[in-house]
Amino acid sequence: MALKIIKGNIFTSECQTLVNTINCVGVMGAGIALECRLRYPKMYSRYVTLCKEQKIDIGLLWLFKGSDKWVLNFPTKRHWKGSSEESFLHAGLQKFAQTYRERGVTSIAFPLLGADRGGIAPSRSLEIMTEYLSTLDIDVEIYEYDPLAQDDIYASTKSWLLSQNAADIAQSTSIRIDYVYKLIEAMQRSDIHQLNQLARVEGVGIKTLEKIFDQARSQSSSKQETQQKRLF
């Protein structure tokens, strides 16, 4: 089987399982973790509960089986304010190598563990990961984050948002209309390509993103159902 290094967006991977880097205190507020929070709200809710019950820890991997993808939650920090440590990567990767078969993982896409906000040099992260993943008998992809890579969910959410009336959005989502305008303005910027990047814009909070994304997804699902009914 193959180990591939890819520069791009991990959410475009065709692998069965995606890896989400997490902390042990119940916060998914940036980067890939925020994307997963928006894409898999049931997973996020369960993650918060598991953290409160102190069941998330370094070296313990939690596999969430979504309807489209599986997500392997991999702790790379104890607290979101802290740093990653190489020993955390070793502990989690060793556990994965020992258990992926029994968990039913057939292909998997990793980000560079601990290399974004964790403080570990990307080259060192890749070195540690390759040590454990290069000999596995499944396809493995390691993604180097590309801030310019396109995000399918962002594109569909943007398309929906810009086609709506701001006042209608404010009413249906209970978001203050000035925040709706902030979001519309942000989505028209040429330097924003992914959902997680919107959280860095002043005046655009995570709760706002959750409401907008949920509304966009709900409208898209309703539209698809209506189109399917017309086929019969």
Q: Which of 4, 65, 69, 77 is catalytic?
A: 77
Burial 128-162 (b: 16+ CB within 10 A, else e): bbeebbeebebbbbbbebeeebebebbeebbebbe
Q: What is the signed CA dihedral for 88, 91, 92, 97, rounded to 10 degrees?
A: 150
Mention every residue, 6+ apart, whose C-beta is less than 8 A from residue 1: 136, 137, 138, 139, 140
Q: CA–CA distance from 197 to each of 28, 189, 194 (Å)?
A: 14, 11, 6
Residues in the chain, how many?
232
Give the whole-angstrom CA distance, residue 158 versus residue 192: 11
Tell me whether residue 112 is exposed, middle or buried, using C-beta atoms within 10 angstroms of its C-beta: 0 to 12, 13 to 18, 19 or more. buried
CA distance between the termini of the chain? 43
Q: C-alpha 145: how far from its chain's center?
A: 12
Is 77 one of the annotated active-site residues of the chain?
Answer: yes
Please list the active-site residues: 77
